[in-house]
């Protein structure tokens, strides 16, 4: 149950900046990178220098990207997305800042 003070603060706010992270995506079934069962628990990161130097590294990189697209295609907006949309439609959101790569 959300804190009623937070809800009131959001209602009273004229403008806000929304920060999002992996939790928004994982709530839609998209795996994160660092959490339990995340991408980096199953795969080793491909670093830029390795990517540029090695065809094998590029294949590995694009292979895991392709794996991720299946989750992206199956994902649907969740209540967090809907709440952000509601705030945007109410004219309260100045910007959304995210580290997510799934859009």
**pLDDT one-digit tens code per residue, 5-14:** 988 988 899 9
The domain tally of the chain equals: 2
pTM exceeding 0.85: no
Same domain for 81 and 102, yes or no, is yes
Give me the domain span that covers residue 2: 1-30+77-103
Position 99 scores a pLDDT of 85
Same domain for 86 and 101, yes or no, is yes
Same domain for 86 and 58, yes or no, is no
Same domain for 70 and 45, yes or no, is yes
Same domain for 58 and 69, yes or no, is yes
DSSP symbol at 43: S
Instruction: Give the number of other Cβ atoms within 10 Å of residue 2's Cβ.
Output: 7
Position 16 scores a pLDDT of 95
List pLDDT tens digits, range 26-72. Answer: 898 888 878 887 777 788 888 999 999 999 999 988 988 887 787 78
């Amino acid at each position: 149950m959300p804190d009623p003070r937070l809800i009131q603060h959001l209602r009273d706010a004229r403008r806000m900046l929304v920060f999002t992270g992996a939790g928004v995506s994982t709530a839609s079934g998209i795996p994160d990178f660092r959490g339990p069962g995340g991408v980096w628990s199953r795969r080793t990161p491909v670093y830029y220098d390795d990517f540029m130097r090695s065809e094998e590294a590029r294949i590995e990189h694009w292979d895991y990207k392709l794996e991720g697209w299946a989750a992206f295609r199956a994902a649907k907006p969740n209540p967090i997305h809907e709440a952000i949309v509601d705030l945007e439609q109410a004219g309260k959101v100045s910007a959304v800042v995210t580290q997510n790569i799934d859009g």
